[in-house]
Structure 1
Amino acid sequence: MPAKGKLLKLLTYAVIAIVALVWVLRFDIKAARDDAPPQAETEAASLISVQFSESRALPYTKTLEIQGQVEPNYAVDLRAEVAARVLSLPVSKGDRVAEGDLLLELDQDARKAQLAQAEADLHYKQQDLSANQRLVDAGGSTRSDVLRLASEVADAKLVLEEARLGLSRTRPVAPFDGVVDRLDVDPGDYLSIGDSWGRLVDISTLKVRAWVAQQDVAELALGQKVRVRLLDGSLLEGELNFIAFSADEETRSYQIEAIVQNPDARRIAGASASMTIDTGEVQAHRLSAALLTLDDHNQVGVRVLDADNRVHFRPVKLLSGEMTQAWVSGLEEEERLITLGAGFAEEGQQVHPVPLEERVEQGSR
């Protein structure tokens, strides 16, 4: 019994020692686990850090800027419609005239004589016709004679009308409100039919003519707003009123025209100008021009983060740009734009995102 008692006592001590050891080891393991960094933090520490900023699309009015030339909206070369000598010039170069104002006086003597002759011929033929109509009933004339004389009366009326028209053409008037831009005759000069003697232009409204590349013409529509900037920096406003249906055979570009108002009657016809055409509204992002980059195919774009914090190149269309800012389309409504560290990450690589407000330490990646 004593031997058994000793053995039992030893076993009891051994069990107590094992239990105590297990108890101590359990707390040491728990403490070690508590001191170890989380797995997510370990993985994040091994990822490249990139800085990003949130960007939201905004309404943007697209524009097309091209070079054009300012021309009068209406311009006409004044040509003689009758042959006659110049008597006087009621207007001078540079004068503003209204529609119907007298521009030139030509000698009327020959035209007045022709008119008098035409009136006399018509009167004679009408008398002859009336007499023959009375003789028909008495048998002294035939119906064929009456028809022939009636035809002669009609011809005489046409001659008289032409004589009156010829006389009126010795007093040419302004076909529209405008400015006498050129006068090439003096009193005493003789004008033949078709000779140019002056030019009248309307500058109250101006026409701006330009050529558009074939890749841009699809964005244009009649009535679009146009701003015209002159060489002195001043602006005129109007709208697009003509787009050619076919391209020029040599340049493959399309001619367009815009009408702009010129309320101050400025002398700018013939001058060069830049046209800015509003071509529609789109959703676009405004971002720093420094974020624009090129991919392996020389496409312009930016680098963004997806929902899994992976880096992607997004091609964009540059709508407008300055030294520091740019407007681009082609992105989602909301994007996380990489602003720093994109050059350290490959396409599709997962990174550690840091908002713009926090500093990115690339040395700690």
Structure 2
Amino acid sequence: MHSIKRRLTLTRGCACIALFLAGALTAAEQPPVSVIVAEVKQQSLVDQVEALGTLKANESVELTATVTERVTAVNFTDGERVKQGELLVEMDHAEEKALLAEERSRLSEALKQVQRLQPLAKKNAATQSTLDQQQREVETARARMDAIQSRIERRRIVAPFDGVLGLRNISVGAVTQPGKLITTIDDDRTLKLDFSVPALFLSAVKPGLMIEARTRAFPERIFEGEVMSIDSRIDPITRSVVVRAYIDNAEGQLKPGLLMRVTLQANPRTTLMIPEEALIPTADKNYVFVIANDAVTKDGVAKDRQPLTVKKREVVIGTRRPGEVEVIDGLAEHNKVVTHGTLKLSNNQTVTIRAEEKNNESLKQLLQSGKQNDSTQGAR
């Protein structure tokens, strides 16, 4: 009985030793793992800062009456595009026209008196004071004419600049009151977009910076603009600064008051990028598997005919964008990193390259490409 127990103990011990020896194989001695790799490349990158903003017209005015008077003519329709100086509304100014005609008559008479007295004054046939009094009459008449003309202009509403009119709120025959809204006019060929940016990005935002703006009204459109100015103060409550950009609206699609989602393209640079699936996050660090001897020949082995191996390398990452991540430190251009097959890898593991990502191919396309490469090599 004791001999049987000794045999079982020896058998179990041998099995454990065999398992330990099998597990003690180095990564290089294990069978090669088939992987897909991608080359580390230099690419253009910008930091994207998102914000919400509201559109405003480049110039915007509410046209209102300044006098109490009856409207005699309305020369525009809703939404009409007008030129600067174009007459929009005319009010009754018959009394002012009559007063103006009266003053023109007085001015004419005063000028005649001055012309008559000037040669007489030279001959001492008329006093200089009489001539001066008539000249004052001329100046007074001209001043009264200017005042009456101003009263007439207040009864004529013209477009202050080129733009598009809003809804008409008045009709012929109506009596206007000071402050009563007649219509609005907006210069919408170029629109202002005001939005708030956290003060953290203040150093990256400057005049001339390009932006992209989107709105739900036109979900498929991207509107480009340019930062023109930055507010001189930072809001002490929100710790943000208002930035103003200009957007070209030659097509007239956008309207003042529209909510826009803004994307700023800050800090443009050229940097190293790798596919995001190559990252292996561990706690607060990130790693990648790099082909150690990546000067390979067409048959997938190193030029010195040694099997390909991988090294686990820590990297410092920066900005992410869909499918890609910036590498600040840890890699060099033209390194090859493993994107698929990382779960089976360990440091110094031998590998075979099944396919290489070059143009954001799908995994299915890469696998098909790998099969074609395998069949080509088999034919050789």
Equivalents in 1 of 2:72, 2:162: separation in Å? Answer: 24
Deviation at 1:112, TM superposition (A): 0.8
Equivalents in 1 of 2:172, 2:138: separation in Å? Answer: 39
2:41 corresponds in structure 1 to 57
**Given the two structures, how large is their TM-score scaled by the length of structure 1?**
0.67
2:226 corresponds in structure 1 to 240
Deviation at 1:163, TM superposition (A): 2.6
Distance 1:110 1:315, change over 3 A: farther
Deviation at 1:78, TM superposition (A): 1.0
1:104 corresponds to 2:104:
no
Segments of 5+ residues of structure 2 without an aligned counterpart are 1-24, 294-309, 355-380
Distance 1:43 1:186, change over 3 A: closer
Equivalents in 2 of 1:74, 1:271: separation in Å? Answer: 16
The range that moved more, 146-155 or 119-128, is: 146-155
1:330 corresponds in structure 2 to 328
2:321 corresponds in structure 1 to 320
Deviation at 1:69, TM superposition (A): 2.0
Instruction: Give the number of aligned pairs.
Output: 305
Distance 1:43 1:169, change over 3 A: closer
Distance 1:333 1:221, change over 3 A: farther
Listed one character per residue, the Cα deviations across residues 121-163 of structure 1 (whole Å, up to 9, x for unaligned) are 3224323433443442343544455445434433432332343
The range that moved more, 216-225 or 332-341, is: 332-341
Report percent identity of matched pairs: 21
1:94 corresponds to 2:114:
no
Deviation at 1:240, TM superposition (A): 0.9
1:276 corresponds in structure 2 to 263
**Given the two structures, how large is their TM-score scaled by the length of structure 2?**
0.64
Contact 1:79 1:198 in 2 (8 A): yes
Contact 2:67 2:177 in 1 (8 A): yes
Deviation at 1:202, TM superposition (A): 3.1
Distance 1:328 1:266, change over 3 A: same
Distance 1:42 1:255, change over 3 A: closer
Equivalents in 1 of 2:280, 2:75: separation in Å? Answer: 65
**Matches of residues 25-174 of structure 1 in structure 2 within 5 Å?**
53=37, 55-62=39-46, 63-147=48-132, 149-174=134-159
Distance 1:122 1:138, change over 3 A: same
Contact 1:65 1:275 in 2 (8 A): yes
Distance 1:140 1:84, change over 3 A: farther
Decide which structure has the larger Cα Rg and report it. 1
Equivalents in 2 of 1:355, 1:144: separation in Å? Answer: 115
Equivalents in 2 of 1:304, 1:148: separation in Å? Answer: 103
Equivalents in 1 of 2:252, 2:147: separation in Å? Answer: 39
1:225 corresponds to 2:213:
no
Deviation at 1:287, TM superposition (A): 1.8
1:357 corresponds in structure 2 to 353
1:286 corresponds in structure 2 to 274
Equivalents in 2 of 1:61, 1:288: separation in Å? Answer: 15
> Superposition RMSD on alpha carbons, in Å?
3.9
Question: SS of the counterpart of 2:62?
Answer: strand
Listed one character per residue, the Cα deviations across residues 233-275 of structure 1 (whole Å, up to 9, x for unaligned) are 1314332142214233232322223333334433643222222
Q: Relative to total residues, which structure has the larger strand share, 1 or 2? A: 2
Distance 1:211 1:132, change over 3 A: same
